[in-house]
Chains A and B, each alone.
Chain A
Amino acid sequence: EVQLVQSGAEVKKSGESLKISCQGSGFSFTSYWIGWVRQMPGKGLEWMGSIFPGDSDTKYSPSFQGQVIISADKSISTAYLQWSSLKASDTAMYYCARLTTRSWAYWGQGTRVTVSS
């Protein structure tokens, strides 16, 4: 069974750094793109970027380029999303997802990030 399990909720202050994770199981982690999607409170879905763990090829949405870093550790089948300096506007739910049949077919449960100023 394909599963994506994300790390737990985080409460941070503005200016702090953060790295959240998404561990895959039930499939060959190095063979599929893993993406990250933001959902701000009460708002819609926004694609942030994705990574191919097999060769670490990474793509970013222009809206998020330079704002976050997406990485992966294929030895532990885990993808990461990180910030070097959080802002209050980073408060959101973050989902990871796996690309299949050119669509995001499998999703993690989400990681809620709350940033206080």
Chain B
Amino acid sequence: QSVLTQPPSVSGAPGQRVTISCTGSSSNIGAGFEVHWYQQLPGRAPKLLIFGNSNRPSGVPDRFSGSKSGTSASLAITGLQADDEADYYCQSYDNSLSGSDVFGTGTKVTVL
């Protein structure tokens, strides 16, 4: 089971804003490790959406934004579009045990 918890699903109408939370602990997000976000379209490999808490790779629309505070992080999608319907994962590093990268539990975004 993942140490980063996300809501199983969120939904919104086209044009609306949705947010996805990623809750960690003092051994990962709360320890200052960066949070990254990935989008996985159905049947496709994951794609990096946000790196370093709030940075967008080249080509990612500014409708996607990330933030981090304390032991949690959030991904916001504004101006929701039909092709935003996908699974979204947060990822960070956890220094408990021997230390390793960890992914969140994943959130399915549905466009109504």
List the interface of chain A (C-beta within 8 A of B).
35, 37, 44-47, 49-50, 59-62, 65, 95, 97, 101-110
Number of chain B residues close to chain A: CB under 8 A: 26
B100 touches A101 (CB 8 A): no
Residues in A neighbouring B105, C-beta threshold 8 A:
44
Residues of B within 8 A of A61 (CB): 100-101
State the majority secondary structure of interface residues on B.
strand
Do most interface residues of chain A lie in helix, strand or loop, or is the interface mixed? strand
Assess the A105–B100 pair: CB atoms within 8 A: no
Q: Contact between B48 and A104 (Cβ–Cβ < 8 Å)?
A: yes
Q: Which residue of A lies closest to B96 (CB)?
A: A62
Max chain A C-beta neighbours (<10 A), residue from B34, B48, B91: B48
Contact between A35 and B101 (Cβ–Cβ < 8 Å)?
yes
Is B45's CB under 8 angstroms from A110's CB? Answer: yes
